Amino acid sequence: MRKNVHENSINCYYQERPKLSKRAKHIHNFFCEAQGIYTDRQVQVEMGFDEPNNVRPRITELIKAGMLEEVGKAKCNVTGKSVRMVSRKI
């Protein structure tokens, strides 16, 4: 079920989006197109970055901006540690 978004919210979104870094916009586009739930490492691999620190700070930035949200935790298949699961905020 898709939520109706108020026109003011949509306008605000497009006004704030240009303030994001180029990489943050690129990562947000990934989430918009993929429309799934991912760990930081999965985003890193899917987008072809060499290491997770290329995406982690930007994902955190997008969460703080209200464009992505943490939706749970999963066990990382590389480190075995508990990591965040992130999706696009709708």
Q: Does any domain span residue 83?
A: yes
Domain of 18, CATH number, reads: 1.10.10.10
Q: Does any domain span residue 51?
A: yes
pLDDT band at 90 (very low <50, low <70, confident <90, very high): confident
- Taking phi first (over 0 means left), then psi (-120 to 50 degrees means alpha), and beta for anything else, what does residue 66 get? left
Q: What is the pLDDT of residue 82?
A: 96
Span 37-77, pLDDT tens digits: 999 999 999 999 999 899 999 999 999 988 999 999 999 98
Q: Does any domain span residue 2?
A: no
Place of tokens 């939520």: 3
Q: Does any domain span residue 69?
A: yes
CA distances from 86 to 3, 17, 49, 74 (A): 19, 19, 17, 10
Q: What is the pLDDT of residue 17?
A: 57
CA distances from 83 to 28, 40, 46, 66 (A): 19, 8, 17, 19
Count of structural domains within the chain:
1
Q: Does any domain span residue 28?
A: yes
Q: Does any domain span residue 1?
A: no
Span 11-33, pLDDT tens digits: 555 655 567 888 998 999 899 88
Rg, C-alpha atoms of the chain: 14
Q: Model's pTM, two decimal places?
A: 0.77
Q: Print the domain residue range for 51.
A: 7-88
